[in-house]
Amino acid sequence: MEDFKALIAAADDEGSHHVLSLAFDGQVHLTPVDRKVVPDVVWLQKNRESLYVFPPFARANDYVGPQAAANSAWMEDLYSGLVAEWEARGF
In this structure, what is the dihedral angle of CA atoms 44, 49, 51, 56, given to the nearest 10 degrees? Answer: -30
| DSSP 8-state assignment for residue 13 | T
Q: What is the pLDDT of residue 52?
A: 83
CA distance 65 to 91: 29
Q: What is the pLDDT of residue 51?
A: 82
Q: What's the pTM?
A: 0.85
Question: Which residue type, as a one-letter code, is found at position 17?
Answer: H
Domain ranges of the chain: 2-88
pLDDT digit string (tens) for 62-90? Answer: 999 999 999 999 999 999 999 998 999 88
